[in-house]
Structure 1
Amino acid sequence: MSKQTLDRIGTAMLALALSLIVWVNATYQMDKPREDIYPTEIPIEVLDRPDDLAVLNGTSETVQVRIRAYASSWDTLRADDFVATVDFGDLTTGVHVVPISVVVSDPTVTITGIHPQAINVRVERLVTSLRPVAISLQGEADIPMGYRASPPLADPSEVTISGPASELDKVVSVAGEVNVAGQRADIDQVVALKPVDLDGQVVESAHVSPSTVRVQVGIEKREDYREVAVRVRTAGQPARGYYVSSVSVLPATVTLVGPPAAIESVGSLIEAREELDVSGANRMLAARMDLNLPEGVSVMGAPAGEPYEVLVTVGIDAVTGGTTVELPLHAEGLAEGLELSTFVPVIDVILTGPSVLLDELETDRLSAVLDLSGLGPGTHQVHPSVTINTEGAPDLEDLQVKDVLPQYVEVTISAPPTPTPER
């Protein structure tokens, strides 16, 4: 090869080297590496966690990573490109310092530091034990008057708790709650359990199995209590050209207290000792009247053995027309699967309107209904509603239902007993 050819090759090689240097320098200037802390902390994964040991007091669940990477890599890096791990495979009971290992999937990224570099853990023996279930009743003060809740029954009555020995020593009960406020019927529901310490705080490291139990709470109607409606009857006729437009009683219901047999004899209504005489009246009447209480029965909140007065107000209006009709009472809207046990069969309905319409009114155009929609098992006080069928007789629209007596009717709704589940 001639000297001239060698000189040309050497010149070309030198030019190539200079070009490469210029390209590398330009690339470096455009994509400089930068060292900094990665903005997202990386979650620590545990490897080989021992089944028969409990690892406590891990001081950190994430790790902060310092890296050196090109600007282009910083723009594309994601948190899941990093994997941080601790290996618990060789741990025994006691206190340990376990190093944290971090790797990154991008080969152009260098990890220059991590914080923390290790976690401190305490390893204890994992134990299990049986504990009784403790169910507390909430809202007992708000159970309707005359009802009470029986002690709750949990199935199963014992559950297994597991966890570190020192943590299980803190558990004083496996607790659940049932709210009985406003309940008139038995409760049957699934309740979540939680292990709690002496202060009622949840012991997080204790595991409960099963985590729920079935709880039944009987809601009993107290035999020595009963809520009843108050009814006051009127006697006589108001002055000519006037009628009884309304009868209101305050209170409309009372709770009776006394021997069960005496309470049972009252039924669902308690009446005033006497009728209120409206003879010759041409304006509203108001009077205090004693209730006709059986021997040994008193009203809740009133002195035992003392008469109990209710305030009776009788509206007297000028007659366009008014009359009182006794109607049979029908129940509607009872939920499927429920049964209606008892209710008052008839009510008194006060009607007003033109006298000629009242004189010719056929009672089969009137209907009295108890709407039981939305009511569940238990005993309820329901206001009856009365409608007038005006089909074919539009003039009857001038009649009005002024009042109904009693204003509230006691109904008892029951459900079939819940089958006992097979074990």
Structure 2
Amino acid sequence: MLTFLRGRLWDTLGTAVLALVLAVVVWVNAIYQNDAPYQDTFPQAIPIEMLNAPDGMVITNNPDEVANVQIKAFSSSWDRLTVNNFRVTVDLEGLGEGLHTVPLEVTCSNPTVTIIGTQPETLYVQIEHVQEVEMPVDLQVEDEAALPLGYAMGTPMLNPSTVTVEGPASQVKKVTSVVADLSVAGRRESVDLNLPLRAVDDAGKQINGVTIEPSAVNTRLRIEQRQNYREVAVLARTSGQPARGYYVSSLEIEPATVTVVGPPSVIATMPGLVSIIGEVDVTGATRLIAQRAQLDLPEGASVYTEGDADPSEVLVTVDIDAVMGGTTVEVPLKTRKLREGYSVSLSVPSVDVILTGPSVVLDELALDLVEAYVDLTGLEAGTHQIKVVVELRSSQNPQLADLAVMSVSPAFVEADIDGPAPGAPGTLPTLPPPSASDPSPTPEPPATSESSSEGSLQTSPGTALGEEPEGQQEESDDAEVTPEP
């Protein structure tokens, strides 16, 4: 009995295990049907990490920084994957100086994802020893000749005076100096600046791929005026008044400042400016005035200059401009290019024109030199909106060229054009159409010998001279007069 029960138990257990296996197979098959895995390239590039870089070595080439990873994953996993699920590394452990081909290794935090491959599959890595050298800083002063006259500079002070250059040995060997650049053109004050540094070779070309520590140097350079020298401004004045309607718009002096040299007692008591001798007369002027003027210097002082220019003269330029104004004038409105035989009436007889320009020209403006018109070129009978055109007859008065038309009111006018009247010169007569109640015209009998002998044509009663009877116009056009035999 016990044996029988054991047999039944084993049979039942076997059946249960078989059912479980079949259920798992069906479940897995259902999952694969609804969530089948597929293979593709992950849509985002993965950053490449360099691991175990040798001490005292540096990578000198520019290997790829990202890689594309091809994977196989369930459809539901693709939507949940991010760049953070992947890690692409390159192991540099044990590599020495030189060029190496190193494979990429990829891992994924999702265990259901299978890594198929990467693009690129390997990296070319150039490794060099790092070199470090100390070098002095060289200050390159530019435009020293462009210092203002009478100014000089002292000895520059640099802090620090030496810096450290570090980088691949092949690049560091090219560096011959570390320089800072300073331009002193036009400077009148001492310099206290932090200037950036750059590494250069013996040809002055900048070397890249190296670092300079520190990257900037504090630079102090004293710039001061020499003794017995003084820089002063130049003053010029005008006299008189320009012509009516004009004014002095600006006054310029070249040079605006000069450097004066002389005995210390004279230089110390000089004011901060020096005037020209006399004044620039602008009486009645209507345009620019330019003239050279002598400087009124104290005894014993002179202007320090370079070149061939007269040190005691300056150029004074006075700009004379017209006083600007505006005015509104009423101008009769005319027409141009109306077709022959046509007539026109305008919605307004005149327009208001706003003019701006020199007041002296506006004050003397002759209104007959301002013309407003509408151009009717090619317009047929009917009502039209036409833009008003304003012309200034500058050919008769050249000063009108300085005026500007700012606005016209109204800017458009209505032109009502009528066609030519019937019977007017250059037109064909217009006949009224026949009515239904009119009797049909009776054909005219042939001309008799008497009428032919008279040498004239008979006209129907009531027909005007030069017209044919109604309904017979076309026939008469082709009619022939038979001469008497």
TM-score band by shorter chain is 0.5 to 0.7
Deviation per CA, 1:228-261, whole angstroms, max 9, x where unpaired? 23346899xx9xxxxxx99986418332355675
Distance 2:311 2:196 in 1: 48
Q: Is the 8 A contact 1:58 1:119 kept in 2?
A: no
In structure 2, the partner of 1:203 is 208
In structure 2, the partner of 1:188 is 192
Q: What runs of 5+ residues in structure 2 fail to find an aligned partner? A: 241-246, 321-485
Deviation per CA, 1:284-313, whole angstroms, max 9, x where unpaired? 898864212455723757845565155497
Higher mean C-alpha displacement, 95-104 vs 180-189: 180-189
Q: Which amino acid aligns with 1:221?
A: Q
Q: Is the 8 A contact 1:149 1:180 kept in 2?
A: no
Secondary structure at 2:79's aligned position in 1?
helix
Q: Could you tell me which of 231, 236, 255 is aligned with 2:258?
A: 255
In structure 1, the partner of 2:134 is 130
Q: Could you tell me which of 46, 50, 55 is aligned with 2:50?
A: 46
Deviation per CA, 1:90-138, whole angstroms, max 9, x where unpaired? 1222332222221111110111112222222233222211122234457
Instruction: Rate the CA distance shift 1:18–1:96 in 2: closer, same or farther, 3 A.
Output: closer
Q: Is the 8 A contact 2:58 2:129 kept in 1?
A: yes
Q: Could you tell me which of 72, 86, 109 is aligned with 1:68?
A: 72
Q: Could you tell me which of 294, 303, 306 is aligned with 1:298?
A: 303
Alignment of 1:52-131 (within 5 A): 52-131=56-135
Q: Could you tell me which of 162, 167, 175 is aligned with 1:163?
A: 167
Distance 1:232 1:211 in 2: 50
Instruction: Rate the CA distance shift 1:311–1:161 in 2: closer, same or farther, 3 A.
Output: closer
Deviation per CA, 1:16-48, whole angstroms, max 9, x where unpaired? 655544432232122111111112222221222
Size of the alignment, in residue pairs? 304
Deviation per CA, 1:141-183, whole angstroms, max 9, x where unpaired? 9876765665643211211111221111222433444465664
Aligned-pair RMSD on alpha carbons? 4.4
Q: Give TM-score scaled by structure 2 length.
A: 0.51
Distance 1:309 1:191 in 2: 38
User: What is the deviation of 1:61?
Assistant: 1.9
Distance 1:248 1:162 in 2: 59
Q: What runs of 5+ residues in structure 1 fail to find an aligned partner? A: 239-244, 316-423
Q: Is the 8 A contact 2:149 2:305 kept in 1?
A: no
Secondary structure at 1:76's aligned position in 2?
coil
Alignment of 1:10-409 (within 5 A): 19-136=23-140, 152-178=156-182, 183-197=187-201, 198=203, 200-204=205-209, 206-221=210-225, 226-231=230-235, 250-251=252-253, 253-256=256-259, 258=261, 261=264, 266-273=270-277, 275=278, 289-293=293-297, 297-298=302-303, 300=305, 303=308, 307-308=312-313, 311=316
User: What is the deviation of 1:75?
Assistant: 0.8
Distance 1:114 1:260 in 2: 84
Q: Which amino acid aligns with 2:258?
A: T
Instruction: Rate the CA distance shift 1:109–1:175 in 2: closer, same or farther, 3 A.
Output: farther
Q: Which amino acid aligns with 1:163?
A: G
Q: Which amino acid aligns with 1:79?
A: V
Q: Is the 8 A contact 1:272 1:291 kept in 2?
A: yes
Instruction: Rate the CA distance shift 1:135–1:54 in 2: closer, same or farther, 3 A.
Output: same
Q: Which amino acid aligns with 2:295?
A: L
Higher mean C-alpha displacement, 25-34 vs 295-304: 295-304
Q: Is the 8 A contact 2:157 2:221 kept in 1?
A: yes
Deviation per CA, 1:68-93, whole angstroms, max 9, x where unpaired? 11111111111121112222221222
Distance 1:260 1:35 in 2: 94
Greater share of strand residues, 1 or 2?
A: 1
Q: Give TM-score scaled by structure 1 length.
A: 0.57
Deviation per CA, 1:360-398, whole angstroms, max 9, x where unpaired? xxxxxxxxxxxxxxxxxxxxxxxxxxxxxxxxxxxxxxx
Secondary structure at 2:55's aligned position in 1?
coil
Q: Which amino acid aligns with 2:120?
A: P
Q: Is the 8 A contact 1:230 1:269 kept in 2?
A: yes
Q: Which amino acid aligns with 1:251?
A: I
User: What is the deviation of 1:60?
Assistant: 1.8
Q: Which amino acid aligns with 1:254?
A: T
Q: Which amino acid aligns with 2:208?
A: V
Distance 1:158 1:33 in 2: 63
Distance 1:104 1:141 in 2: 67
Higher mean C-alpha displacement, 290-299 vs 105-114: 290-299
Which structure would you say has the larger Rg?
A: 2
Secondary structure at 1:251's aligned position in 2?
strand
Q: Is the 8 A contact 1:249 1:310 kept in 2?
A: no
Q: Which amino acid aligns with 1:133?
A: V
Instruction: Rate the CA distance shift 1:40–1:248 in 2: closer, same or farther, 3 A.
Output: closer
Structure with bigger RCO (C-alpha 8 Å, 6+ apart): 1
Q: Is the 8 A contact 1:228 1:269 kept in 2?
A: yes
In structure 2, the partner of 1:384 is none
User: What is the deviation of 1:193?
Assistant: 2.6
